[in-house]
Structure 1
Amino acid sequence: MALPVLLVLFHVAAFAQTQVTGRVTDPNGAGLAGVTVTVKGQNVATSTNENGQYTLTVPANATTLVFSSVGFTSREEVLNGRSSINLNLAAAAGNLNEVVVVAYGTRRRGDLTSSVTQVTAKDFQKGFQPSAEQLLVGKVAGLQVTTGGGAAGTGSRIRIRGGSSLNGSNDPLVVIDGVPVLEGGVAGSQNILNTINPNDIESISVLKDASATALYGSRASNGVLIITTKKGTRGKVKFTFNTQASVQSLTKYAPVLSGDQVRDVIRRDMEATGDSTYFKKLGTANTNWQKEIYREAFGTDNTLGASGTIANVLPFRLSGGFTHQEGVLKNNSFERISTALNLSPKLLNDHLSVNLNAKFSNTKNNFSDQGAIGNAVFFDPTQPVLSGDAKFTRMGGYWEWTQPSDAAWAPIVGAFSPRALAPLNPVSLINTIDNKSTVNRFIGNLQLDYKLHFLPDLHLLANVGGDWSRGSGNNNRDSMSAAGLLGGGSRSNYKQGQNNFLTDFQLFYQKEFKSIRTKFDVMVGHTFQEFSTDVYNFPSFSYRPIADPRTPGSEIYNLRDTIANSKPRAEDVRYTDLYRLESYIGRVNFNINDKYLIQGVMRRDASSKLNPDGRVGYFPAVSVAWKLKQEFFKNVNFISDLKLRASWGETGNQANLNYYSYIKRYTQGNQSAMYQFGGQFVQVLRPEGYVEDLRWETTQTTNLGLDFGFLNNRIAGSVDVYKRKGFDMLASVPIAPGANFTNEATKNVAAMDMEGFEVALNTVPVRTKDFNWDLNVNFSYNKRKITQLLDYNDPNFTGLPRGGIGIATGNFVSQWIVGSNPSEFYVLKQVYDQNGKPLEGVYEDLNRDGQVNLDDRYYHKQADPKLNVGFSTSVSYKKFTVGMAAHGSLGNYVFNQYDAGAGILSQFKNPTQITSNGSPSYLETGFRNNSNFQFLSDYFIQNASFLRIDNINLGYDLGRVFRSKVGMRINASIQNVAVITNYKGLDPEIADDFGRAGTIYPRPRVYTLGVNLDF
């Protein structure tokens, strides 16, 4: 009896099961979803959820667990009786099986034939990133992401391979979960991408060459960004909570003089000239106006997410987020409430895949008055913020420049009133202007993939959805201010809606012929997209005091009628702009013997923006790849990957065109353009310029690429060389007098050549059980040259002036001409003395005609960088991680518009008989007066090459806490750490496409502390 009992006990012990739980993270400590956890040598496995958590029931005789995931190296862990195993997986640089999101589908990275870079959540920029595009800074060769300044919620300028248009848009097409979104943004939103919670984003694919972008043909000349958000996962419902708190502070201000320095400048001039007029106007203060309008700012970002499977059949992910960001400019703020839902069930025995996405966001902006930024630079630092004089009560008590004479009271201006041409007190502007907006946005779509029961190789694909935005706001001005006295107190409201409706239908067929070792797939489809903009007209009202403000208590405002009439009248409710795109698309792929890859693409687009005779465009592309590894080095272990790619294709552009540019049309004038009929004033209808034969702007691209990997892809990367040719390009050119209703129109007249190369290198110098080091670098070169500007011969044509400078009306810092780069500067050559000091008003007579004038300008430097560089590195040791990211550019120049206009004595001794502040460059040059020639001196074209350390981050994984129920990770980061540059202005990176840089909203340094929880 004892023997059978022992045998039974032995049998039970041998097959007893235990549970092992844990969390798998990437090198940066973020949870990894979809990691396969397998009992080595047995058919027992599970996968991690969205947060990287897993639970696996293992037999008692199990000895080892194997952890594996696409894009990461596998790792084995010996059990040794452990019931909890937490670990991180090292990134496998250049993993060929990684799934990459491309146009209308996905591809294995090893099967790509075109130039595509995918950045996933583990590689995003760390820290406080309230807008999606900021996740990509410095991460992709050929991609420039430049923030517009430090404003809360601000947008960025995005350029892929430098852009391909002159007058059209150079922004890439953005596709969010299969929905191409409208360029620009709705009223009240300064950035369409800040309506998406970055914590909901799984990956962003950057499509660069024509073969990658051709399926989006009509809007793809400037590349494509495909944003894919996180999806539901199978398994038990799990929760994550991520929270960050940040503090922002300025480390650098626009260069100005102190109050004492201004007094010294004015005193010295008085001693030299004997003119004491300006000296008498000086105050006794030392006000730093920039410090008066800026502050240390707080930010917080919070996301709560849940994912798992409902009733074992419905994978889902649901998240909610709240972001609050204060700008360093007082009163400036951005706030976002967001929610996202994904449902991804498979039905009909997995023949029908459903993917439902719904994202809603509510954003609120307080823009403050950014005019205060420039006024803080120029306002007299010898004056106080508040006057203390009772007569300034009408201006809120703020010190202001006032009219020199005390004329009799008039209801419109008043006896004691501000000067119309003088800068206004910047603190007053911030505190007496109310400029706010609210934007609601919903992006949703339903994607269906039905694999036919009787023919499973054939799929029916459908995608129906849209993007709907509503923006509204106000811009109100208090009459108890200098601005209110000058222009009247005002109440102004606005509202706009944008609607984007999409329907996509495709047939997808794939087949493998094993006998000839060939796989192929073909996709054909139809897509329709309708964009409409609803603009609501609200009447605006100005109001003024109706009694003498010098009498205390008599400030009576005509507010009752203002408030009563601030709602839109029925006849002013809205008008709608509408345009449509209809397309037919086709794609075929061949994979022959896993060595030779061929892809062909065709898209036919029709746009209602263009004339019916020219609105259809055809955009073909073809690409091939040769897997040299499989062909020649199959048994060479040192080589992990070697693939040669080549592609050619055409893409189009019709962005920035007016919806009805080709139609003879009349538009209604505004309230300042009215005609009197008897005692009644009516708004006029006026003819607009038009171009009947508008057609597609087209870009043709040839790309040659090499993908490589060595030492099990511990050294991997790619090299791309490309040439692009733009033709039928849109450019605003002069029109013969009397030939149209305008003297300049946008026509398909220009052409431009572009070329460049890109290199991306990803390495893993060290990889051990406890220590991993990743090091990545990329750089790119791009060159542009205009080859045609007119559609007729004009021997007297000298070019198209571009890049008007705001400090001198009618002057331009650039001029487009055939053979030039569109970002080149067109300036006069400065002459210097023997000590290297510029001589005021002295320039070289380059054409040697005996006189110096604008004909002596020459092409000098360019705003386009010669080279862009990105760099990132990450080191992990056990539970610690530390990382750094940086980016920069070489060979780019900036027109320092601020120095050009404010670095002269007449800036401090303003001709309007006031004193002002200005640029310290005056102390170096001694320039006294401004002139159109001086504004165009090449002295102000300054080298803006730079290296910016974007981020230093540190993280620590505490493992399971709170009785092992919660996984916790803490992280800290510093953003905008330092900038290395010789540029004399505030920020070498913030300039427009013409390289102009004036007074800007400075970017702060950001300190962030965050906690990630999963439970």
Structure 2
Amino acid sequence: MKKHPTLNNPLTLMLIGYALLSPLFCHKVEGRATNTPPNVGYGEAQQSTISGTITDVNGLPLGGVTILVGQTDDGTISTMDGTYSIAAEPDGELLFSAIGFETLTIAINGKQVINVTLQEAITQLDEVILNAGYYTVTEKERTGNIATIKAKTMEKQPVSNPLSAMQGRLSGVDIVQNTGVPGGGFDVEIRGRNFIDGASDPFYIVDGVPFSSQSLGSSNVSGQILGGNISPLNALNPNDIESIEVLKDADATAIYGSRAANGVVLITTKKGKTGKTRFDAHFSTSLGSVSNFIELLNTEQYLEIRREGIENDGFGEFLEDPSFDFVWPDVKSWDNDRQTDWQKKLIGGTAYRNNAQVSVSGGGSNTQFLVSGAYNKETTVFLGDANYKKATLHSNLNHSSTDKRFKLNLSTSLTNERNMLPRTDFTNRAYTLEPNAPELLDDEGNINWENNTWDNPLASLEEQFGVTTNTLITNALVSYKIRPNLEIKTSLGFNSYRLDSYRTLPSSARNPSLGLTPQNYASLTTNGSKRNSWIVEPQLHWKNQWNWMKMDFLIGTTFQEENTEQFIQRGTGFPNDELLQNLTAANTLEVLQDSDSEYKYNALFGRLNLKFWDKYILNLTGRRDGSSRFGPGKQFGNFGAIGLAWLFSEENGLKGSSILSYGKLRGSFGATGSDNIGDYRFLDTYNITGFDYNGTIILEPTGIFNPLFGWEANKKLEAALELGFFKDRLLINTSWYRNRSSNQLIGIPLAATTGFPELTGNFDATVENSGFEVDIRTVNFKAKNFTWSTTLNLTVPRNRLVAFDGLESSTFANRFIIGEPLTIVRLYNALGVNEETGIYEFEDYNGDGTISSLEDRQWVEDFGPRLFGGLGNSISYRNLTLNFFLQFKKQLAFNELRFGATPGFRGNSSTLLLDRWQQPGDESPIQRASGGLAFEEDTGSFQESSNAAVSDASFIRLRDISINYKVPDLKIGLDLNVYVQGQNLLTFTNYRGPDPEQPSNTTLPQLRQITLGIQLGF
């Protein structure tokens, strides 16, 4: 019943582009035979071979150094042992350059052996190349806001997902890990939440290939442990990544048009380097544990409050009646002297992660290669033998012709993940299980049900959850220089993501008193999903230079198609639990979801960059997008930006200053958009329900026809000042931004009588994100054997709903307030505990004498971060390097009262509830105890949703620390590094919950980890 809109023929834009550009291709080359290489026969008789060794100030060999003959393009690259050989004229000169080192020019003067020592460069602004996607730009000349993290930083962190390596390190980028369970997902926001009812995920690109971060997992299968949030980015091995660039402002993102409203994350994998064949091996092992346990009641405290609550409810006389043992087993039949620390028992184990990676790389001046393979196995802190395994294979081949006109780059990454986890996250049971609960196993080693008086958490291990994912990312970049300043290239990419998962629910996992059998309860749920995507992007790049101006022009087109399929089914009723893995043995088989979708996308994009007198820069970018997610007449949108920069340090009055070495003022304005609403939302759509009516399969309507909605728009404005002092030993980058997202695509909930859950449409609503970002880099001390550098990033964000027509009468009235952030929560205003009744009291906003769920929840708290950032230091002494990084965030979060505000209920709770009201006149923050049997209104549930359940959750965290030792005096060409790394070792906070960054009592918090490793290369 699904239909797909037909875009204009995807070749149309390409043909138009080629027609417009054909005059550039149809020129006549005169004055030189096309098969004659340049400079043939020039100076050959005078040339001689010069060789030598290149080292750093510590005498260590430097590979990858570029050696050029004078100002020509003739050159070579040093091998990994620092040696080089090049032909040049005896009276010429050689130019030695490498990223991170000062460029050195040496006259040959007839010498045949020239050994060189390169000094580390304090400033790298002219040499640091940033990946801006379709083009590259130096840090000094960029007009947009591009944050970057390099392999050197990621390698010092014991992480298995690249998003974890980015946490706290990039200004404007807020990343929160959802769970400490391996394979879990992350929430990523770049400069805040832009859309009311849409995802905040940025646009990910891996080696030029778009990579969807949307999980194909399902909560029907994964249940509580991951909730369907299985991050596809787990497929990327951080050790295979060379750099990650985050594009934030309009100038940097507009060239990606509709896919860049939430920012762009560019991931570039490692490539082979020129030099002799090199083998590298990397082995590490990690130990992980929960970093913080919360203070819970012990058995004596728990039973005291529990009995008090039962008595307060008026049932105290039954506490001595044996016939009521089944009502309160924790008080009457269980051992009142037993005490178990369930946090240590259920989530207090040690998680192990073992990682091994080997690679081989090398190549000559024309062809370089890299092949690496890695295997990772990680366990959990839970009971049982749950584990997560990942195997990755990465390869890269880079080839260029002798004349450097033709270039080919092939990159492939293949990953297989196998995640075998318990279906249930034990974290909530660890916090709430009674301290005197029975032993997990009886005397015979069987699951102990203690006369069917409790739900043994160990039984959930009988339930199985497994997920297997296979990911393939491959890209080919082919380019040819028609003329020295005119290049044509094409990027061809393919991405395949397949996820297969299952969940079993055997009857043996439930209390026998329920009378459940495999025939009436046992079930198997499976999820088979896949997503395939291909992309083709032809491009033309032309640049030219005049005495006073440089021009860089780029035009290209994009053709992309993505196909997604998901099939979820459940079998119920099995002859026995042993046959649970066989769906054909099920008595009832139902289809929970059977869906497929197709997404087509094409675009025309371009860039014009002009640089005047090496100090004034103008950058224009634009894109026209076409998306199949919109109806006829709404499929195309235009996006673009302008960026300006003024290198005022190049002005005559400032150039060469001993204090101000670098100064740039830049700004940008433009628009990006979003079509991130899912496929077929403008059409009538249906889904199979899984049930039948007299043998006929039922189709359930899931979407209603609405071809009128169109693109969301995000207008971005930025102004920035960048300064460098004392030869750039101190770099300060500051930026102010304001993004306004309008024409919001919102799913409008409909009444059940319509037969449809919601209607997608554009709302005249505007969301604004503004803020201030600061990045500071300093070289504090630099000597021959000792260096110390520091980095600091700080973000002060602000989010608010600027406008929303008809908000008061919409279904969003209880969620949003005009002028307030989207991250607000409406709460009751707690007035404390009544000294006479011992009951929580709240402000009655509407004055009707009762506390209601909507009218009286008028207290507003913002849970968005007020500021966040990180402080890092790197200290090196000879062969020893120390790196440590502190992450900080100022925010509010729910505290322990959110998860239980009434003392005396069954189940353990925070020691905070000990300070309870017990008699008239008591001044206590906690109301009187209750066993949960009172017939009065439950004011404790109101307290859990009040401002009393909110507290400061600001923190400073030692995110990671590493000590690396490079073993000296080894054979030339042999490198050996040993290191120890730590992550989440210390957290400084007043927050009483398990984790201020992840304030939940239902999911496992991030783990504290210690890693030992060794790297060997030769």
Q: Taking structure 1 as the reference length, what is the TM-score of the superposition?
A: 0.83
Q: Give 2:506's aligned amino acid.
A: D
Q: Tell whether the 8 Å contact from 2:340 to 2:436 is kept in structure 1 after alignment.
A: yes
CA distance in 2, matches of 1:710, 1:174: 35
Equivalent residue number for residue 543 of structure 1: 574
CA distance in 2, matches of 1:89, 1:843: 68
Equivalent residue number for residue 817 of structure 1: 817
1:1007 alignment partner, one of 1007, 1010, 1016: 1010
Other structure's SS at 1:905 match: coil
CA distance in 1, matches of 2:158, 2:141: 35
How far off its partner does 1:425 sit? Answer: 2.1
Q: Tell whether the 8 Å contact from 1:968 to 1:1013 is kept in structure 2 after alignment.
A: yes
Equivalent residue number for residue 479 of structure 2: 449
Equivalent residue number for residue 301 of structure 2: 261
How far off its partner does 1:794 sit? Answer: 7.1
Q: Which runs of 5+ in 1 are unaligned?
A: 1-14, 78-82, 404-421, 545-555, 802-814, 909-915, 992-996
CA-to-aligned-CA distance 1:222-279 (integer Å, 9 cap, x gap): 1111011111212211111112111112231244323333223224445665241532
Alpha carbons of structure 1 residues 838 and 817: separation in structure 2 relative to 1, 3 Å: farther
1:472 matched to 2:496? The reply is no
CA distance in 2, matches of 1:907, 1:217: 54
Q: Tell whether the 8 Å contact from 2:189 to 2:202 is kept in structure 1 after alignment.
A: yes
Other structure's SS at 1:543 match: coil
**Matched ranges for 1:100-179 at <5 A:** 100-124=130-154, 126-179=156-209
CA distance in 2, matches of 1:560, 1:223: 45
CA distance in 2, matches of 1:713, 1:647: 24
1:513 alignment partner, one of 540, 546, 561: 546
Alpha carbons of structure 1 residues 139 and 88: separation in structure 2 relative to 1, 3 Å: farther
Other structure's SS at 2:426 match: helix
Q: Tell whether the 8 Å contact from 2:901 to 2:944 is kept in structure 1 after alignment.
A: no
**Matched ranges for 1:486-525 at <5 A:** 486=516, 488-514=521-547, 517-525=548-556
1:592 matched to 2:633? The reply is no
Q: Which runs of 5+ in 2 are unaligned?
A: 1-47, 107-112, 218-227, 916-924, 931-937
Other structure's SS at 1:907 match: coil
1:283 matched to 2:335? The reply is yes
CA distance in 2, matches of 1:483, 1:504: 59
Other structure's SS at 1:328 match: coil
Other structure's SS at 1:380 match: coil
2:561 alignment partner, one of 530, 537, 540: 530
1:727 matched to 2:742? The reply is yes
Q: Tell whether the 8 Å contact from 1:609 to 1:661 is kept in structure 2 after alignment.
A: yes
CA distance in 2, matches of 1:658, 1:723: 27
Q: Give 1:1003's aligned amino acid.
A: Q
How far off its partner does 1:305 sit? Answer: 1.4
1:667 matched to 2:687? The reply is yes
CA distance in 2, matches of 1:206, 1:473: 32
Q: Tell whether the 8 Å contact from 2:579 to 2:585 is kept in structure 1 after alignment.
A: no
Alpha carbons of structure 1 residues 88 and 378: separation in structure 2 relative to 1, 3 Å: farther
Alpha carbons of structure 1 residues 246 and 734: separation in structure 2 relative to 1, 3 Å: closer
Equivalent residue number for residue 844 of structure 2: 845
Alpha carbons of structure 1 residues 457 and 745: separation in structure 2 relative to 1, 3 Å: closer
Q: Tell whether the 8 Å contact from 1:731 to 1:789 is kept in structure 2 after alignment.
A: no
What's the RMSD between the two structures over aligned residues? Answer: 3.7
1:918 matched to 2:909? The reply is yes
Equivalent pairs: percent with the same residue? 25
Q: Tell whether the 8 Å contact from 1:23 to 1:85 is kept in structure 2 after alignment.
A: no
Equivalent residue number for residue 876 of structure 1: 876
Alpha carbons of structure 1 residues 697 and 601: separation in structure 2 relative to 1, 3 Å: same
CA-to-aligned-CA distance 1:873-907 (integer Å, 9 cap, x gap): 011011111111011111x11123x5323232353
Equivalent residue number for residue 987 of structure 1: 995
Q: Give 1:923's aligned amino acid.
A: L
Which stretch has the larger CA shift, 370-379 or 89-98? Answer: 89-98
Alpha carbons of structure 1 residues 185 and 90: separation in structure 2 relative to 1, 3 Å: farther
CA distance in 2, matches of 1:1001, 1:794: 37
Other structure's SS at 2:156 match: coil
Other structure's SS at 1:959 match: coil
**Matched ranges for 1:248-647 at <5 A:** 248-269=288-309, 274-275=316-317, 276=319, 278=328, 279-284=331-336, 285-294=338-347, 295-309=349-363, 313-330=366-383, 331-347=385-401, 349-386=403-440, 388=442, 397-399=447-449, 402=452, 424-429=455-460, 431-452=461-482, 455-482=483-510, 486=516, 488-514=521-547, 517-543=548-574, 559=579, 562=582, 564-565=584-585, 576-631=596-651, 632-647=653-668
CA-to-aligned-CA distance 1:956-978 (integer Å, 9 cap, x gap): 110353x5552111111111011
Q: Tell whether the 8 Å contact from 2:506 to 2:580 is kept in structure 1 after alignment.
A: no
Alpha carbons of structure 1 residues 941 and 638: separation in structure 2 relative to 1, 3 Å: same
Other structure's SS at 1:211 match: helix
CA distance in 2, matches of 1:872, 1:769: 22
CA distance in 2, matches of 1:115, 1:269: 59
Alpha carbons of structure 1 residues 48 and 240: separation in structure 2 relative to 1, 3 Å: farther
How far off its partner does 1:921 sit? Answer: 2.7
Other structure's SS at 1:629 match: helix
Other structure's SS at 2:967 match: strand
How far off its partner does 1:192 sit? Answer: 1.3
Q: Tell whether the 8 Å contact from 2:523 to 2:570 is kept in structure 1 after alignment.
A: no
Q: Tell whether the 8 Å contact from 1:152 to 1:332 is kept in structure 2 after alignment.
A: no
Alpha carbons of structure 1 residues 120 and 704: separation in structure 2 relative to 1, 3 Å: same
Alpha carbons of structure 1 residues 504 and 735: separation in structure 2 relative to 1, 3 Å: same
Q: Give 2:978's aligned amino acid.
A: I
Equivalent residue number for residue 912 of structure 1: none
CA distance in 1, matches of 2:119, 2:742: 48
2:673 alignment partner, one of 652, 670, 679: 652
Q: Tell whether the 8 Å contact from 1:903 to 1:919 is kept in structure 2 after alignment.
A: no
Q: Give 2:870's aligned amino acid.
A: G
Which stretch has the larger CA shift, 710-719 or 181-190? Answer: 181-190
Q: Give 1:131's aligned amino acid.
A: N
CA distance in 2, matches of 1:880, 1:155: 35
Q: Tell whether the 8 Å contact from 1:372 to 1:427 is kept in structure 2 after alignment.
A: no
Which stretch has the larger CA shift, 464-473 or 245-254? Answer: 245-254
CA distance in 1, matches of 2:141, 2:990: 44
How far off its partner does 1:20 sit? Answer: 4.4
Other structure's SS at 1:166 match: coil
Alpha carbons of structure 1 residues 37 and 437: separation in structure 2 relative to 1, 3 Å: same
Alpha carbons of structure 1 residues 539 and 940: separation in structure 2 relative to 1, 3 Å: closer
CA distance in 2, matches of 1:39, 1:726: 52
Q: Give 2:556's aligned amino acid.
A: G
CA-to-aligned-CA distance 1:278-320 (integer Å, 9 cap, x gap): 321443421222322231111122221111116x642111111
Q: Give 1:769's aligned amino acid.
A: K
Q: Give 1:858's aligned amino acid.
A: Q
Q: Taking structure 2 as the reference length, what is the TM-score of the superposition?
A: 0.83
Q: Tell whether the 8 Å contact from 1:903 to 1:920 is kept in structure 2 after alignment.
A: no
How far off its partner does 1:400 sit? Answer: 6.0
CA distance in 1, matches of 2:678, 2:165: 32
Other structure's SS at 1:492 match: strand
Alpha carbons of structure 1 residues 884 and 728: separation in structure 2 relative to 1, 3 Å: same
CA distance in 1, matches of 2:268, 2:737: 27
Alpha carbons of structure 1 residues 163 and 426: separation in structure 2 relative to 1, 3 Å: same
CA-to-aligned-CA distance 1:127-182 (integer Å, 9 cap, x gap): 31111112212221111122112111323221111131221111111110011112
Q: Tell whether the 8 Å contact from 1:535 to 1:574 is kept in structure 2 after alignment.
A: yes
